[in-house]
Amino acid sequence: MKMKPEQLQQIKQLVRNVPDFPAKGIQFKDLTTVFKDADALRLVGQALAEPYRDKDVTKVVGIEARGFIGGSILATELGAGFVPLRKPGKLPAITIKKSYTKEYGVDTIEIHKDAITPDDVVLIHDDLLATGGTMLAAYELVQTMNPKKVYVNFICALKELGGLEKFPPEVEVTTLFDF
């Protein structure tokens, strides 16, 4: 389902701006205000899934924590499995990890070593793209598992931060809207 422009504008207006979070000078875009609205959540889930309905996605990887929300919805919409990508020490079995620099520090993400196979077509999801550090690390981590194909998507992107330019040209990246 493609969202109508007026629906997209209504969703965008639901996003709350939180100044100086998590650090001074950062204007945090809080999508929990979208998630708590049942109609908005349903519309976002359907619109996020639309570009991938014919791409044979077998696994959706959601990035901790807000990426779990959209990622789970995407997995359900696409008839795919869901794989959590988490902070260190949160997954119970053997993991592989990747450290990366983000806009306010260094972080590490982990995924179960057996979560993705070479037969998988993977869609990695997070709610928002800022500088791209987290998603690029997620993309590189998933690529080490040799899936058939990897797609990347977000609900929204902070275009002026240049995160989209960090991905190799062969990576299909989609967003519903930009700020």
Q: pLDDT band for position 1 (50/70/90)? A: confident
Query: Among this protein's residues, is 16 annotated catalytic?
Result: no
The domain limits of the chain are: 55-178
Per the CB < 8 A criterion, the answer to whether 35 and 41 are in contact is yes
Four-way CATH pick for 55-178: 3.40.50.2020, 3.40.1160.10, 3.60.20.10, 3.40.50.300: 3.40.50.2020
The answer to whether 66 is a known catalytic residue is yes
Which pTM was predicted? 0.95
**pLDDT tens track for 101-154:** 876 678 999 999 999 999 999 999 999 999 899 999 999 999 999 999 999 999
- Residue 86 near residue 107 (C-beta atoms within 8 A): no
Strands 16-19 and 27-30 come out as antiparallel
Choose, from 64, 66, 110, 172, the residue flagged as catalytic. Answer: 66
Catalytic residue from among 50, 64, 103, 172: 103
